[in-house]
Amino acid sequence: MIYSLGSINADHFYRLSHLPTPGETLAVETCTRMLGGKGANQSIAAVRAGARVVHIGALGPDGNWMRDALADAGVDVTHVTEAGTASGHAIVMVDASGENTIVIHPGANRALNPSQIEDALRDARPGDWLLMQNETNCQGEAARIARSQGLQVAYSAAPFDVDTVRAVMPFVSLLILNAVEDAQLLQELSVVDVPIRLVTRGAKGAEWVDEKSGKAVLVPAFRVPAIDTTGAGDCFAGYAVAGLATGFAPAQALRRASAAAALQVQRPGASEAIPTAAEVDAFLNAHD
């Protein structure tokens, strides 16, 4: 079982010829609204990878359609509560090459409380996983509760904040960062005291670093034409943790996650673009 403490956002996508520069006004080519948020994306990715997922989060009174979308994707939404504030949302601008710029309003994602976390994790068992990122509050409380119950804790440290990472680190089993975040972390901290650091390096692939032994496993990326990179990191993280939770060795879990992300970036959108396990298997078979 994966318990996913994470954000749920309404993603407003605006596709443009290029990303605007300061002071520039551009007319969009298309605009759409989709379910997003790093937490929701990771939950859906983990479900499509074959894991059982319970999402822990909050929405405002305007968020029923997002709860329904999560449930329709196969995510358990029993512990998605309603807060007295608007749901989180994001403004996502995507250019012709697939690069993006994102602005986020946290909204209800920052309205969680420790009692909600305790209630959600009450039935968790040793060997289950807690998957988190940095778009909600209560990460520290959740990580502490999870570790006290014998869960593995995977923390996707984005958006990056060194103080938050430092507070959560004593409870983390698997720290997931991209190359920029990893460089920032190593610059701020002399010792990264976690068992495993998983670093995504874009076209260079992903690196699994065992901090105790110093050994590393590098899994190359698949070369594909990118249409939209939004949510690719979340897709990778959800697939990677689901792979580990369902018994794959690290190299195999990362290869599946890399294949899932390769499929994701060839489609527009975030959660709706996440591939199924069958699609990932077919892609891997074609690249053996």
- 246 assigned ligand-binding residue: no
For 73, 241, 247, 257, 260, the CA distances from 48, given in Å and listed in that order, are 8, 12, 16, 11, 10
- What is the rounded CA–CA span in Å between residue 38 and residue 231? 7
- 62 assigned ligand-binding residue: no
- 234 assigned ligand-binding residue: yes
- 228 assigned ligand-binding residue: yes
- What is the rounded CA–CA span in Å between residue 103 and residue 98? 16
- 85 assigned ligand-binding residue: no
- 205 assigned ligand-binding residue: yes
Nearest to 16 by CA among 2, 5, 27: 27
Nearest to 228 by CA among 102, 44, 94: 94
- 135 assigned ligand-binding residue: yes
Task: Write b or e for each residue in 207-244: b if 16 or more Cβ atoms lie within 10 A of its Cβ, otherwise e.
Answer: bbbeeeeeeeeebebbeeeebbbbbbbbbbbbbbbbbb
- 143 assigned ligand-binding residue: no
User: What's the start-to-end Cα distance of the chain, in Å?
Assistant: 30
In the numeric block, which tokens belong to residue 144?
A: 């502490």
- Considering 163, 182, 234, 281, which one is annotated as catalytic? 234
Neighbours of 156 (CB within 10 A): 28
Q: What are phi and psi of 110, to 5 degrees?
A: -100, 15
Task: Look up residue 251 and give its DSSP letter.
Answer: H
- 255 assigned ligand-binding residue: no
- 10 assigned ligand-binding residue: yes
- What is the rounded CA–CA span in Å between residue 270 and residue 77? 19
Catalytic residue list contains 234: yes
- 256 assigned ligand-binding residue: no
For 122, 162, 165, 190, 210, the CA distances from 186, given in Å and listed in that order, are 35, 10, 12, 7, 15
- 212 assigned ligand-binding residue: no
- 183 assigned ligand-binding residue: no
- 38 assigned ligand-binding residue: yes
- 281 assigned ligand-binding residue: no
- 252 assigned ligand-binding residue: no
In the numeric block, which tokens belong to residue 218?
A: 């590098």
Residues marked as binding for ATP?
178, 200-205, 233-234
Binding residues: 9-11, 37-41, 135, 178, 200-205, 228, 230, 233-234, 264, 267, 269
Residues belonging to the active site: 234
Annotated binding-site residue numbers for substrate: 9-11, 37-41, 135, 234
Q: Which residues are part of a known binding site for K(+)?
A: 228, 230, 264, 267, 269
